[in-house]
Amino acid sequence: MSKRRVVITGMGWVTPLGHGIDAVWERLVKGESGVDRITRFDAETFPTTFAAEVRDYDYRQFLRDPKLHEHARLNTQYALGAAVQAWRQSGLDRFANLNRRRVGIYLGAGEGPPAFESSVKSNLAGWEASGGQSVDAKAWIAAAREHIVMHEEVEQEANMPLLHISQELGVRGPAYNCLTACAASTQAVGEGMEIIRRGDADVMVAGGAHTMLHPLGVTGFNRLTALSTRRDSPQSASRPFDLSRDGFVMGEGSGMIIIETLEHALARGATILAELIGFGSSADAFRITDIQPEGLGARAAMLEALNDAGIDPHERLPDGRPPIHYISAHGTGTQENDSIETRAVKGVFGDLAPEIPVSSIKSMMGHLIAAAGAVELITCIQAIRTGWLPPTMNLKTPDPACDLDYVANRSRRAAVDVALSNSFGFGGQNDTLVVKRFAGA
């Protein structure tokens, strides 16, 4: 049985470089950085003092009734903004005959910031209001149950972005959330495509949202020695594929796309941005804290995605080009990740690998954790639409173990018809998507 074709009709993101597809894309192509000193909390005593924060963002501008979402935590705020952007671009907000029972959501969304800080502040406020005297325990518990437990603790659950998006858009189809670390939103898009292919939905809102920019998040990754600890310029700290790389820079935000059947999109006269054609997933089955050294899991995910797309990685196109024209790398800037991803790409594409441009936008906006994959898929779609490849910034000193074309330090014009996006999650979860230029029905 032939697969239902799945197309992309809407995109939205909220990132450390801003929000709005065109505005952020312009900054990416220019090689601008969203990394700076942490302002969310006092990080001066931490080994890492910088991150890529979302700034100057008010999610309420996107909402029909902001009061419905007044307790939304940051991850949900980012998700709402990105989802509404994508929804509006798709034109579904103006489609009167939409069957909302046939519209689903699949997110790879991480948990919200922990509620302990709000609890402490509320407790302190109560203590100060009493003039430094003890507060009646029953009154405190009642207030805590209503305000902290019901709102703060519930809203930090990983499925809250999904529920808020469902409420805002009024969609009632299949609803899923996964949290497979840094591969989560790539998995969400891929699984959303499979839901459409098997006929369980006509439209899916797919993507992810996450923030770990709080003391516990930064402490955890510092203890894992995964973050860059440079004390010089924050903007040059994220150095994917560079010999001097010393870890990733944490980012935050959200990326969302609208995917639907080709028939559904054509029937309503939608503008089709690209076609989603392949998805692959694998596990390293190695160690929780280390990537499989030969990149076998990453290679398996790429090969499965290419096979799903009907692409032979070793066969040149009639015009002589490789079958993939751009790879959005996972490219975190850690020693092991970048060299192993390079090895995996070479293992998949063989002699053609050096001809395929590869870049990592994490060099400019940091690592958005669960949201990274969806944001990077949008990068692939934009490369197809605009003919620009975003650069890998801060790549000054070549690493002999990283010997591919990483579009170093300057964006590049290129004809991109087919692109591949990699996401490799902590613990050995690997997901890859393949997207191509829509060439008609």
Q: Which residues are catalytic?
A: 182, 330, 367
Helix or strand holding residue 434 (H, E): strand 429-436
From residue 1, alpha-carbon distances to 4, 195, 197, 279 in Å are 9, 15, 11, 18
Question: In 350-398, which ranges are continuous DSSP H helix?
Answer: 362-365, 372-386
Separation CA 374–CA 183 (nearest Å):
9
What are 106's strand-pairing partners?
176, 206
Residue 103 β-bridge partners: 203
Structure tokens at 290: 């280390």
Question: CA 300 to CA 348: how far, in whole Å?
Answer: 9
Q: How many CB atoms lie within 10 A of CB 258?
A: 29
Phi-psi region of 25 (alpha: psi -120 to 50; beta: other; left: phi over 0): alpha
Letter for the amino acid at 141? I
Q: Which residues contact 61 (CB under 8 A, 6 or more apart)?
A: 81
Q: Would you give the distance in Å from CA 214 to the centre of its chain?
A: 18
Under a CB-based contact definition with an 8 Å cutoff, are residues 376 and 435 in contact? no
Q: Which of 139, 164, 138, 133 is nearest to 151 (CA)?
A: 164
Q: How many angstroms separate the CA atoms of 313 and 349, rounded?
A: 5
- CB atoms closer than 10 angstroms to residue 430: 32
Which segments of 311-435 does DSSP mark as H helices, in order?
A: 335-349, 362-365, 372-386
Q: Report the sign of the C-alpha dihedral through residues 360, 364, 367, 370, in that order.
A: negative
